[in-house]
């Protein structure tokens, strides 16, 4: 079967699954992974014949995708900041919103050999990206999931970065003083979880459920930032769209200064920056 024929057939199958508004894009992603070719290569050589092995693998994956299994879990990979990372059902699939936090961190004024702590590191995509962009920084990634840390370690090894990986319940195992803390903690209110759709239900609840208002872990983190951050140190938090005001009010009570926000493409306050005064 040719590339264009395989894509056409898959594009016809995938809309059977509701909630897949871009079946062509989904098919390209799966075929690129199955064939080892880039999506650009697939587009410019549509007449190329696929091997029987690749064709069979591709349509097995298409069938799995129609059940609601995330495409990134099917192929075991995802793209983040123009890099590829390993993902499993034990980690949250990296979102474009987290790339906004990377950009904000890279624009911040930090020491040349900054000490950086990534809390709730998951797949490690954020801290690994920072390690590749700022080779002089000293970085630590922590998580309370042993399985997530295993994925992060594999990603770190694949990207050849020097990151220390530690198990920790938030920052309880961490000594001061860090120049930067990044945190993409669970921030979805518990009551919202059943409304998020089947795909998200395949991701770890531990990485999603933030308690009644979504801020249970954020409160604990903020209460401990004064101990862990160096004077003048910064914390970058990824949040849900309506949480920024509450988080800044909470930060002030713990002698932290709100130092900025970053909006996502939809205009929502997605990243809040706090400073240890």
Tens digits of per-residue pLDDT, 22-52? 899 999 999 999 999 999 999 999 999 999 9
pTM of the model: 0.92
Nearest to 182 by CA among 109, 275, 120: 120
Q: What is the domain-level CATH number for residue 187?
A: 3.40.50.150
Same domain, 61 and 129: no
**Of 16, 44, 67, the domain-final residue:** 67
- For the beta carbon of residue 159, count every other beta carbon within 10 angstroms: 17
Write out the residue range of the structural domain in which residue 62 sits: 3-67
> Domain for residue 25, yes or no?
yes
Are both 33 and 63 inside the same structural domain? Answer: yes
CATH number, domain with residue 11: 1.10.8
Q: Are 104 and 193 within one domain? A: yes
Look at residue 166 and tell me if it is in a domain: yes
Query: Edge-to-edge, what's the strand order for the sheet holding 269-276?
Result: 163-167, 138-143, 115-119, 178-183, 229-238, 269-276, 256-263
β-strand partners of 236: 182, 273
- Please give the pLDDT value at position 19: 64
pLDDT at 277: 84
Number of domains within the chain: 2
**Among 60-64, 151-155, 187-191, 194-198, the least confident range:** 194-198
Domain boundary among the residues 47, 67, 87 is at 67
Indicate if 110 and 88 belong to the same structural domain: yes
Quick one: 52 and 173 in the same domain? no
Report d(CA 112, CA 118) in Å as an integer.
18
In contact, 251 and 257? CB cutoff 8 Å: yes
Whether the Cβ atoms of residue 123 and residue 159 lie closer than 8 Å to each other:
no
Of the three residues 67, 92, 118, the one that is the final residue of a domain is: 67
pLDDT at residue 51 in the model:
97
Domain match, 54 and 183 both: no
* Tokens describing residue 165: 């990986």
In a domain, 72, yes or no: no
Residue 263 in 3-state DSSP?
strand
Tokens of 71: 């495409």
**pLDDT computed for residue 196 by the predictor:** 83
Residues whose CB falls within 8 Å of the CB of residue 276, separated by 6 or more in sequence, listed in order: 225, 226, 229, 230, 231, 232, 233, 234, 235, 255, 256, 257
Q: Are residues 166 and 35 in the same domain?
A: no
The reply to whether 172 and 190 lie within a common domain is: yes
86 plus 62 within the same structural domain = no
Considering the domain boundaries, does residue 127 fall inside one?
Answer: yes
Rounded Cα–Cα distance for residues 59 and 145 (Å): 33
256 and 131 co-located in one domain: yes
């Amino acid at each position: 079967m040719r590339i264009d024929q395989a894509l056409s057939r898959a594009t016809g199958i995938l809309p059977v699954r509701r909630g897949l508004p871009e079946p062509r894009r989904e098919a390209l992603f799966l075929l690129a992974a199955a064939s080892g070719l880039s999506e650009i290569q697939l587009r410019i050589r549509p007449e190329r014949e696929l091997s029987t092995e690749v064709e069979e693998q591709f349509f097995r994956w298409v069938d799995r995708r129609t059940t609601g299994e995330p495409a990134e879990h099917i192929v075991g990979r995802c793209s983040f900041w123009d890099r590829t990372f390993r993902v499993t059902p034990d980690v949250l699939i990296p979102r474009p919103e987290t790339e906004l936090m990377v950009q904000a961190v890279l624009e911040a004024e930090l020491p040349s050999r900054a000490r950086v702590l990534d809390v709730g590191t998951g797949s490690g995509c954020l801290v690994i990206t920072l390690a590749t962009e700022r080779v002089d920084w000293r970085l630590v990634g922590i998580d309370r999931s042993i399985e997530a840390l295993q994925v992060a370690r594999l990603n770190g090894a694949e990207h050849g970065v020097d990151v220390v990986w530690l198990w920790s319940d938030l920052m309880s195992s961490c000594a001061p003083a860090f120049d930067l803390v990044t945190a993409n903690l669970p921030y979805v209110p518990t009551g919202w979880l059943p409304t998020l759709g089947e795909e998200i239900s395949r991701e770890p609840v531990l990485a999603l459920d933030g308690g009644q208002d979504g801020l249970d872990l954020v409160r604990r983190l903020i209460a401990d930032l004064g101990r862990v951050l160096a004077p003048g140190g910064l914390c970058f938090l990824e949040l849900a769209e309506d949480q920024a005001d509450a988080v800044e009010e909470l930060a002030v009570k713990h002698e932290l200064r709100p130092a900025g926000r970053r909006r996502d493409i939809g205009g929502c306050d997605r990243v809040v920056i706090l400073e240890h005064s």
